[in-house]
């Protein structure tokens, strides 16, 4: 029986999460189908309470804005009434306007003799430009009122960028409902306009649907937001380059938090080189509402044991953090400052460190197992290599076995140890190849349509297929063929993208019946390559490579 497929679809996913995790058992125990109506109602009340606190924060900010407007407006009008060259009728009109405005704004907040410090007291260079806090680039549909806001700062990395794989992973591990109740903000923390524009365009091209839906936003700061880094004080005995790096990180986190604060109830700080577990949004929400329902006065909910990854805050608390980070932006790293904030709030000077730790543990709550894992090895600090792994994240399932029908698997790629294509096809393991060379192929001669679920692996996110085309061999050729044809008769229906290592798309019906599908390597690679799943389905099902 010949292999038959009219309109196959394909998508090769690289470096995305493939995992079986034990936390689902906990999720069922805590929030399974035995939920009573009373518990459901209680959870709704907790959610409304959290949203109310967020609304109160926004209301307070608007009152503050009006108060400052009243100050400036009153000063302006008072000055205008004293101008000598203004005739009496205009002066009278200004006086009436001043009186009306004072009545309109009266009672909002009395007294103008005192003035609280603002961001300009600690970053005075911002006064040199009126647009120093306005994003230089902004891709946004203005989504707000969500439960979860995820902030991802990213910078130009000299060796390896993980951003696209991180975004793909975060979005894939959300349900449709979670995507409607969240915002992911990518903060491109660079001032090179050419790089920022190119990076924003790459994100927009890869995730256009999610930008259009409002799930994904991209912003970048103006160059005037940053001070002259060459004039920073050298603190903690660090070299100037390290002081610049950690100072900029403090300012980056502050900018991102300021932008994110009005958009949702909770804010989670992430990084651009991480993996997440499926259902992480719902898990975080449940854990947060549980603490609120139990009347725990938490400051931080921690979903990863490393650095600043996976730290959740109430958006109403971000103003305190932002202020602290900005005041001490030149003094210490941001994760140290975060610890100082908590310590200042709860620890006593007349008690020992053990007492302080106990108090901190009451407001800085850790969720286990961790929901996020760090995968990057090259830091944004030049020359720094960090192989940090969160042991609480658990072991990852590196492949999904599938029962596939009989077929011939042919490849010129050299397998590493026992990670062969044939064993991967049988579902025994994943396929792990040594350095791909130009002309290498991995071909599947099948009787039933074949699905290769993913290229790449979470434990080895850099081992991907690059400059590799997806090709099919049809039973016959139609006259209106739209695809390029190779010398040996294959049609090139797709290509791996260099930025993400992903190839996806649909094969036109003009291709007709397909009997062979292959991956063809066009150039030498300096990295190995992995296929985590090979899955064949019956002919009546759609052929493709799908993310889970």
User: Taking 70 as the threshold, does the pLDDT of residue 50 lie above it?
Assistant: yes
Rounded-to-integer distance, Cα 367 and Cα 303, Å: 5
Provide the pairing of β-strand 441-446 with 264-269: unpaired
**Residue 283, helix vs strand vs coil:** helix
Rounded-to-integer distance, Cα 273 and Cα 409, Å: 34
User: Taking 60 as the threshold, does the pLDDT of residue 35 lie above it?
Assistant: no
Residue 133, class by beta-carbon neighbours within 10 Å (0-12 exposed, 13-18 middle, 19+ buried)? Answer: middle
User: Taking 90 as the threshold, does the pLDDT of residue 324 lie above it?
Assistant: yes
Supply the pLDDT for residue 8: 45
User: Taking 70 as the threshold, does the pLDDT of residue 373 lie above it?
Assistant: yes
Supply the pLDDT for residue 308: 92
**Residue 457, helix vs strand vs coil:** strand
221 closest CA partner among 127, 126, 310: 126
Choose between 247 and 161: higher pLDDT: 247
20-30, pLDDT tens digit by residue? 333 333 333 33
User: Taking 50 as the threshold, does the pLDDT of residue 57 lie above it?
Assistant: yes
Structure tokens at 271: 């990084």
- Alpha carbon dihedral 255, 256, 258, 263, in 10-degree steps, equals 160
Mean pLDDT of 38-61: 74
Supply the pLDDT for residue 32: 44
Residue indicated by tokens 């524009």 = 197
Mean pLDDT of 480-507: 75
Rounded-to-integer distance, Cα 275 and Cα 169, Å: 6
Supply the pLDDT for residue 403: 60
Rounded-to-integer distance, Cα 375 and Cα 380, Å: 14
User: Taking 80 as the threshold, does the pLDDT of residue 197 lie above it?
Assistant: yes
In sequence order, the 6+-apart residues with CB closer than 8 A to the CB of 391 are 305
Supply the pLDDT for residue 46: 78
**Residue 1, helix vs strand vs coil:** coil
Mean pLDDT of the residues in the chain: 77
Cα(first)–Cα(last) distance of the chain, in Å?
31
Rounded-to-integer distance, Cα 479 and Cα 496, Å: 27
Helix (H) or strand (E) holding 282: helix 280-293
User: Taking 80 as the threshold, does the pLDDT of residue 227 lie above it?
Assistant: yes
412-458, pLDDT tens digit by residue? 887 777 777 767 777 777 777 777 788 888 887 766 443 333 444 44
Adjacent-strand bridge partners of 56: none
Q: Please give the full DSSP string across 372-388, using - where no structure is assigned.
A: EEE---B-SSTT-B---
What percent of the chain has a predicted confidence (pLDDT) above 90?
41
Mean pLDDT of 231-237: 94
91-120, pLDDT tens digit by residue? 666 666 666 665 555 554 444 566 678 888
Choose between 473 and 496: higher pLDDT: 473
Rounded-to-integer distance, Cα 294 and Cα 48, Å: 15
Rounded-to-integer distance, Cα 374 and Cα 396, Å: 13
185 closest CA partner among 282, 258, 126: 258
503-547, pLDDT tens digit by residue? 665 667 677 777 788 888 887 766 667 666 665 443 344 443 332
Residue 31, class by beta-carbon neighbours within 10 Å (0-12 exposed, 13-18 middle, 19+ buried)? Answer: middle
For residues 433 and 456, is the Cβ–Cβ distance under 8 A? no
User: Taking 80 as the threshold, does the pLDDT of residue 362 lie above it?
Assistant: yes
**351-366 b/e (C-beta count within 10 Å ≥ 16 → b):** eeeeebeebbeeebbe
Please state which of the ranges 51-65, 364-378, 488-502 shows the lowest mean pLDDT: 51-65
User: Taking 60 as the threshold, does the pLDDT of residue 380 lie above it?
Assistant: no
**Residue 10, helix vs strand vs coil:** strand
Res. 315 pLDDT band, cuts 50 70 90: very high
Supply the pLDDT for residue 192: 94
For residues 204 and 238, is the Cβ–Cβ distance under 8 A? no
Rounded-to-integer distance, Cα 522 and Cα 296, Å: 58
284-297, pLDDT tens digit by residue? 999 999 999 898 99
123-139, pLDDT tens digit by residue? 999 988 888 999 999 99
Supply the pLDDT for residue 43: 73
User: Taking 90 as the threshold, does the pLDDT of residue 242 lie above it?
Assistant: yes
In sequence order, the 6+-apart residues with CB closer than 8 A to the CB of 514 are 3, 4, 5, 8, 449, 472, 473, 474, 475, 507, 543
């Amino acid at each position: 029986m010949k292999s038959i497929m009219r309109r196959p679809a394909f998508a090769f996913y690289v470096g995305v999460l493939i995992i079986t995790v034990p936390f689902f058992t906990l999720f069922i125990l805590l929030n399974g189908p035995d939920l009573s109506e009373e518990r459901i109602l209680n959870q709704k009340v907790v959610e409304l309470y959290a949203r109310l606190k967020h609304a109160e924060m926004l209301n307070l900010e608007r009152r503050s804005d009006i108060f400052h407007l009243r100050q400036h407006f009153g000063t302006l009008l008072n000055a205008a009434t004293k101008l000598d060259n203004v005739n009496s009728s205009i002066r009278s009109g200004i006086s009436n306007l001043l009186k009306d405005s004072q009545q309109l704004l009266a009672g909002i907040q009395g007294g103008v003799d005192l003035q609280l410090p603002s961001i300009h007291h600690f970053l005075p260079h911002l006064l040199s430009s009126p647009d120093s806090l306005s994003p230089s680039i902004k891709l946004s549909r203005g989504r707000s009122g969500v439960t979860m806001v995820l902030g991802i700062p990213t910078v130009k990395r000299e060796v390896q960028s993980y951003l696209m794989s991180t975004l793909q992973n975060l979005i894939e591990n959300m349900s449709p409902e979670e995507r409607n109740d969240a915002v992911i903000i990518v903060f491109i923390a660079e001032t090179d306009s050419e790089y920022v524009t190119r990076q924003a365009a790459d994100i927009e091209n890869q995730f256009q649907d999610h930008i259009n839906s409002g799930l994904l936003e991209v912003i970048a700061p103006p160059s005037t937001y940053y001070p002259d880094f060459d004039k920073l004080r050298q603190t903690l005995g660090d070299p100037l380059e390290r002081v610049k790096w950690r100072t900029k990180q403090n300012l980056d986190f502050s900018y991102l938090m300021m932008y994110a604060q009005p958009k949702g109830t909770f804010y989670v700080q992430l990084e651009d080189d991480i993996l997440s577990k499926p259902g992480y949004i719902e898990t975080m929400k449940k854990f947060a509402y549980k603490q609120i329902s139990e009347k725990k006065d938490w400051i931080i909910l921690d979903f990863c044991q490393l650095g600043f990854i996976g730290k959740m805050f109430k958006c109403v608390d971000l103003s305190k953090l932002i202020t602290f980070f900005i005041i001490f932006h030149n003094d210490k790293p941001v994760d140290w400052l975060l610890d100082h904030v908590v310590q200042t709030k709860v620890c006593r000077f007349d008690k020992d460190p053990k007492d302080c730790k106990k108090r901190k543990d009451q407001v800085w709550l850790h969720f286990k197992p961790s929901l996020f894992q760090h995968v990057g090895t090259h830091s944004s600090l030049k020359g720094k290599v960090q192989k940090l792994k969160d042991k609480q994240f658990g072991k990852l399932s590196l492949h999904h076995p599938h029962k596939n029908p009989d077929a011939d698997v042919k490849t010129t790629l050299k397998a590493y140890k026992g990670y062969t294509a044939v064993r991967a096809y049988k579902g025994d393991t994943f396929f792990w190849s040594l350095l791909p060379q130009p002309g290498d192929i991995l071909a599947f001669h099948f009787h039933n349509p074949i699905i290769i679920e993913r290229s790449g692996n979470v434990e080895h996110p850099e081992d991907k297929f690059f400059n590799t085309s997806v090709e099919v061999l049809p039973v016959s050729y139609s006259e209106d063929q739209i695809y390029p044809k190779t010398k040996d008769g294959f049609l090139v229906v797709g290509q791996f993208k260099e930025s993400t290592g992903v190839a996806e798309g649909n094969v036109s019906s003009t291709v007709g019946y397909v009997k062979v599908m292959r991956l063809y390597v066009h150039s030498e690679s300096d990295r190995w390559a992995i296929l985590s799943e090979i899955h064949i389905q019956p002919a009546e099902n759609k052929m493709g490579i799908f993310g889970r």
